[in-house]
Amino acid sequence: MRYKVNNTPILCPCCRNDTFDKDYRQLNSRGATFFGIDWANRNAAILVCTRCSYISWFMSDPSRD
C-alpha cells in the first residue's frame, strides 16, 4: 500500500520505494514496566518497506494514499 502524512507521500529513505506494510508497536516506558502497566503505554504506527524492509516509525497514523 502507499501512504502519506499531511498529504505528503511517504518514500523509503533507503531505496525510495513507495509501498509499505503497516503495523503498530507499543512504546514501552520504564515507569509503566516497573509498575506492571505496560498496557497504558502509547502506540506508534510503523511502515515496513516492501522492497528493503526498512522500518519507519510515526506517532501519527499515516493514511492510505
Domain ranges of the chain: 3-60
| Cα–Cα distance, 59 to 47 (Å, whole number) | 11
Note the pLDDT of residue 41.
57
User: Torsions phi, psi of 43, nearest 5?
Assistant: -110, 150
Given the candidates 2.20.25, 2.60.120, 3.40.50, 3.10.450, the CATH classification of the domain at 3-60 is 2.20.25
pLDDT for 11-65, tens place per residue?
999 999 999 999 999 876 666 566 666 555 578 999 999 999 999 999 999 999 8
Burial per residue of 35-62, b for 16 or more beta-carbon CB atoms within 10 angstroms, e otherwise: eeeeeeeeeebbbebeeeeeebeeeeeb
Residue 19 cell numbers, joined: 509501498
Note the pLDDT of residue 35.
67
Note the pLDDT of residue 28.
67
